[in-house]
Amino acid sequence: MRAARRGMVTKKENIALVGFMGSGKSTVGPLLASALGMDYVDLDEMITERTGMDIAEIFELEGEEGFRERESEALKEALAGGNRVVSCGGGVVLRDENLELLRRRARVFYLRVSGETALQRLGDGEGRPLLAEEDVAARVGELMAVRGGRYLVAAHEVVDGDRENPEEIAEEIAERWRKYRYGSGAGSTSST
């Protein structure tokens, strides 16, 4: 039945998690993939495995633009297949072509966190090239102001990422996914 139905269904086959640094995408993603029996892809991990460099090294050698180019290519590849949960880097939404691709090839969940939560989780910003400044709090505020609206443009659904329990967040997204894929009888959703 699923194979016959697949030809008729236009619903998206992938889940993409977007949100600011420290929103929990890389923690929630594997939990969500496991709960739904889907494959898991972390774009930053994909890029570092291919280049043999960490994100900070790529920024240092190629600049942010070089990294964003690699990120866009990784996103295309990750979303080319189906049955995947993809954790996107915090800046993936900065390119219009990525927004279009995300909305077309995935059900996009925005893990929204407050600036306070982001700062608490990011600490001094070590390992985050865009936070390599003395005033991490000011930089987080600047980046959130630029990116916040773009996350909303990308998102099909918004999830409260301020909660401390990643399992709870993953289960909420799984329930919403089941409802989206299979209809209202598949589980309840909670709103934000």
- Confirm whether 76 is domain-assigned: yes
Q: What is the pLDDT of residues 2-36, one digit of tens each?
A: 333 344 334 579 999 999 988 999 999 999 999 99
pLDDT at 186 over 60: no
- Confirm whether 57 is domain-assigned: yes
- Confirm whether 6 is domain-assigned: no
- In CATH, what number is assigned to the domain containing residue 153? 3.40.50.300
- Confirm whether 108 is domain-assigned: yes
pLDDT in the model for residue 112: 96
pLDDT at 62 over 50: yes
- Confirm whether 2 is domain-assigned: no
- Confirm whether 187 is domain-assigned: no
pTM score above 0.75: yes
Average pLDDT over every residue of 44-62: 94
Range of the domain at 50: 13-181
Q: What is the full DSSP assignment across the chain?
A: -HHHHHHH--S-SEEEEE-STTSSHHHHHHHHHHHHT-EEEEHHHHHHHHHSS-HHHHHHHHHHHHHHHHHHHHHHHHHHSSSEEEEPPTTGGGSHHHHHHHHHHEEEEEEE--HHHHHHHHTT-TT-GGG-SS-HHHHHHHHHHHHHHHHHHH-SEEEE--SS-HHHHHHHHHHHHHHHHH-GGG------
Q: What is the pLDDT of residues 116-155, one digit of tens each?
A: 888 887 766 565 656 666 777 888 888 889 999 999 999 9
Give me the chain's average pLDDT, please: 86
pLDDT at 88 over 70: yes
- Confirm whether 186 is domain-assigned: no
Give the number of domains in the chain.
1
pLDDT in the model for residue 118: 84
